[in-house]
Amino acid sequence: MKRQLLFSLLAILVTSFALAQQDVTGRVTDARDNSALSGVSVFVKGTRTGTTTNQDGRFHISVPANAVLVFTFTGFSDKEVTVNGSSVDVALEVTQKSLQEVIVTGYALQNKRQSSGSVAKVSGEEIKLQPLGSFDKALQGKVPGLLSQSSTGQPGAAAEVTIRGKGSINGTNTPLYVVDGVQINAADFATINPGDIESYTVLKDASSTSIYGSRGANGVIVITTRKGRPGQTQINYDFQYGWSQLPENRLEVMTSKEKLQYEFYDRPDFGINPFGWSDAQVDSLGKIGSTIEKSLFQKGITQQHQLSASGGNDKTRFYLSGSIFDQQGIVKTTGLRRYTGRVNVENSFGNFKTGINATFGYSRIVGTRENDTYVGSPLNAIRWFNPYLSLYDANGEYQDDYLQNQPNPLRELLENAGHGDQMKGVGNVYIEFNLPWVKGLKLKTLWGADFTSDEAFLYLDRNTDQGSQSTGGNGQVSRSYTKTFRYTGTTSLSYQRTMGAHEITAALFNEIIQAKSDGFNFNGFGLVGPFKNEAGITPGTPDNGYIPTVGGDATQSGLVSYFADATYGYARKYYISAGARRDGSSRLTKDQRWANFGSVGASWIVSEEHFLEGTKGWLSSLKLKASYGSVGSQGIGNFTSRELLSSTVYNGVGGLVLTNLQRSLTWERKLMINTGIEFTLWNGRVGGTVEYYNNKTKDLFLDRQLSRTSGFTSITNNLGKLQNTGIELSLNAVVVRTRDFLWEVDGNFTHNKNKLLDQNGMNENISGYFINKVGEPINSIYLVKYAGVDPATGDALYYIKDGKSTTNVYDPANRVLLGTVDPPFYGGFSNTFNYKGLELNTLFSYAYGHWLYNNDRVQVENPIYWYSNLSKNMLREWQNPGDITDVPSAFNDFRQETSRFVEKGDFLRLRNVMVSYTFQKNLMDRWKIKSLRVFAQAQNLYVWHNFQSYDPEAVGGGLAGAQYPQLRTFTMGINVGL
């Protein structure tokens, strides 16, 4: 009887439960274009019951009555829907700067909620319209921890980018750049169209970069190109036109009147008025204005055209584009011209997905001689050329006389010629297979290639100064070719599944990278006839001395890797991740070729806890995260660890000599700790991050001094330790949002502290004007401190090492550390104002706390060069006892190895200002177009600084001379969508 009663009760309970359950079906789509979203997690709130959508975005789930379904998908905002029937269709919205934002690691997509790493993302829309030949310059001020420095304004030249400080001394500090899974070099950016880029994702800590192993030590910048979306084909055309001009120079040089005044100062060996000017000549010449800038520089025209088409359906999507970018430099003859094309196609059929992403480009860069002290360079002549002289004689020919034995810079610029051509192709093909036997299991293989062909050409006319310095003294033609091919093959098996409160993502990878490069160069001499190429070369003989030189090189390297990555999440609140990678590099000797790297991380979505339920009105999300791991660097030459032989000639007999010793080099290894907080407030209206990092590099590549009896002066070994610690802050906020008006702000700040911990037991290593000292930042300036001028004698005064007493005797033993050349503080901030489609955007970047050695001043404040133009500062030169000045007498020994020429590098740059107007939709419908936007912008509009030159943004801390100023560019344009 009891058994029958028990079975009856169980039957009633089961029946009640079955009646309470109901089957629900539906479809999940992208709210932008109504395309299906596959792989969306659908679960019953408060339970472990869940499922995912199929390839068509459809799902089926059994739920209790009045249940709430939660829909989550990477890159889209979560959505909750109360079940009120048997069918539920949902459209998900793309997220912006929230925990749902998608992160592209280069190998996979990841939801920001799940990530424990330090990752920043920049939209391609923020950069594509900036008139820059190299897109890495546009990242300045946008990403905390990322420092982008440009010491040249040459169109097409790449910036120097570092992430979280410099972690190597002799190795590379350049981050890894990956485009759609294929590695590229920073030197090739001039051939890539920024308009094709969807997003830039910057990976900064071990949790996010360790998957790249030996390539991720300096951070990773993952570049994702644009893809098509289902729907009607969208055609877009972008055009802009403008000009660039020379910015202000804070290093002022003398006018004609001032220079003539200075020539009447007394000086050693030449006395007063060494050219013997008469009063009438002084009066006449003093009225002449300088024409050097007008003669050598120009207002450079910039124009850009971009045309793209994208579209597709649920199965096939495509993106096609072509572009032309033409930017003249501000130095005559210089500039960049670029042509690019791109094809991105992906197709889904059954359980398979295939795709191809390919870009092709051609660029020509015409530069000028820079970063040296050659007097014929226009970048030096603008300061050094005497303002009362003319570049032409009375007959309109190049002036050769009366130039104080200096070359005519206009002739050097216009009669000599040179350019660099590059053809580049980057692409990949891939295939994915979703295994039907195990839900969430996917197999993918991707093969990519990066091909580059570089040609450099130089013509030195026989009538120019540079041509006269070539072999035989009658001009030169040089040409070189370099071809580089790198292929990457990556195969992965990944698993992603949500089972109730449990989220599992795991993947195994194998990767092969091989690079090959070969080059050839030729130099011919003795030019005759009108030819400006190899046709004018005189055949070389022992008698005429025009023996041509020919050379070449070839190199090859490879990297094989095995790695794994996994993330586990529980209750959408607790996440742990781990990764491991084993790399083998051909650059290292066999006993050190293989190395292991890895990371662990954890994150906690605190805002999902019940004890914070009362904060939901203002605290939208709060995440704590931490990670630890190791990455490595093989940033040395392909043959640095090998024994090398080179050809030589001795006493007329050829032979081979040893030029490098084999040594057991191992990897530079970086141990990285990162902790951080991410938050959003008031439903995403305010958001930000606070992060602390501690990166320690050991086994630094350093040069160890050898006994000269070995035949070598030094050898590279793994000898030192270096540390970077820092704090990063970022904040974004919607200050005002009404129906018609929007004001958004975005800012970031970084403080990086660099410290050398060990260098093979040596306390300090001095190189020129710089020192690497244990306990101090690397690249610190090390000079005698300048104390001014003795009013009685005009002698320069220098501080004794104790910093208290002074002497007029220069002694290098009194050198002291003056400060680092690398900015310890940097960042940026932006504002966006929008009123009924009229928008104003501003971007500022800044850096401070560092010092620079101003070699430009050395060249124009040295009295030995009195016959050239000089800085206005020299008008303060000491002349008589009692003069109070900071410029010593011309009779005093000139010493440039002092702090007299060291200046603060602090600056605040107005990087970009854009005003645009987007026409209203009702007008677009009337005109039968989809979108129309007009804009005007200014690039590098103004820099606030006290550095005496064009710009304090200098890589390496010192100006070698002939600095090509950064371009100040103004453009206007239009964007049309059809």
Question: CB-side exposure of 66: number of CA atoms within 13 Å?
Answer: 0
In this model, does residue 32 exceed pLDDT 80? no
CA–CA distance, 229 with 36 (Å, rounded to integer): 11
**Per mean pLDDT, which range of 170-184, 291-305, 399-413, 437-451 is the poorest?**
399-413
* 244 is a domain residue: no
* Structure confidence at residue 227 as a pLDDT band (50, 70, 90): very high
Predicted pLDDT at 585 = 87
Tokens of 963: 């600095």
Task: Scan for tokens 């319209």, then name that residue.
Answer: 129
* Structure confidence at residue 15 as a pLDDT band (50, 70, 90): very low
DSSP H or E run through 15? helix 2-20
C-alpha separations of 62 from 21, 108, 551, 587 in Å? 6, 31, 74, 58
Predicted pLDDT at 18 = 42
Instruction: Give the distance, in angstroms, between the CA of residue 62 and the centroid of all CA atoms in the same chain.
Output: 51
* Structure confidence at residue 964 as a pLDDT band (50, 70, 90): confident
C-alpha separations of 327 from 457, 526, 914 in Å? 20, 34, 19
Predicted pLDDT at 40 = 83
In this model, does residue 708 exceed pLDDT 70? no
Q: Are 969 and 939 spatial neighbours (Cβ–Cβ below 8 Å)?
A: yes
Cβ atoms < 10 Å from Cβ of 882 = 8
CA–CA distance, 822 with 54 (Å, rounded to integer): 52
pTM for the structure as a whole: 0.88
Domain boundary among 25, 58, 92: 92
**Per mean pLDDT, which range of 230-244, 298-312, 706-720 is the poorest?**
706-720
Sort 267 into a burial class: Cβ within 10 Å, 0-12 / 13-18 / 19+: middle
What is the tens place of the pLDDT at every residue in 624-635? 999 999 988 876
CA–CA distance, 920 with 236 (Å, rounded to integer): 17
What is the tens place of the pLDDT at every residue in 411-439? 999 999 999 999 999 999 999 999 999 98
pLDDT (mean) for 15-38:
72
* 650 is a domain residue: no
CA–CA distance, 14 with 392 (Å, rounded to integer): 104
Task: Name the E strands within 180-253.
Answer: 182-184, 197-203, 220-225, 231-245
CATH of residue 27: 2.60.40.1120
Predicted pLDDT at 12 = 41
In this model, does residue 236 exceed pLDDT 70? yes
Who wins on pLDDT, 372 or 861? 861
* The total number of structural domains that make up the chain: 2
* 207 is a domain residue: no
Residue 817's closest CA among 769, 753, 761?
769
Who wins on pLDDT, 160 or 6? 160
What is the tens place of the pLDDT at every residue in 759-768? 888 899 998 8
549-582 burial: b if 16+ Cβ within 10 Å, else e: eeeeeeeebebbbebbbbbebeebbebbbbbbbb
What's the domain range around 884? 780-820+851-904
C-alpha separations of 626 from 416, 622, 672, 712, 808 in Å? 57, 14, 11, 46, 56
Residue 182's closest CA among 207, 160, 215?
215
Cβ atoms < 10 Å from Cβ of 86 = 10
Domain boundary among 39, 60, 92: 92
Predicted pLDDT at 412 = 93
* 857 is a domain residue: yes
* Structure confidence at residue 712 as a pLDDT band (50, 70, 90): low
Q: What is the mean pLDDT of the chain?
A: 88
* 774 is a domain residue: no
* 162 is a domain residue: no
**Per mean pLDDT, which range of 171-175, 330-334, 341-345, 907-911 is the poorest?**
171-175
705 CB-near residues (< 8 Å, 6+ apart): 713, 714
* 815 is a domain residue: yes
Who wins on pLDDT, 743 or 129? 743
* Structure confidence at residue 229 as a pLDDT band (50, 70, 90): confident
CA–CA distance, 232 with 343 (Å, rounded to integer): 18
DSSP H or E run through 410? helix 409-415
* 873 is a domain residue: yes
**Per mean pLDDT, which range of 334-343, 377-386, 410-419, 874-883 is the poorest?**
377-386
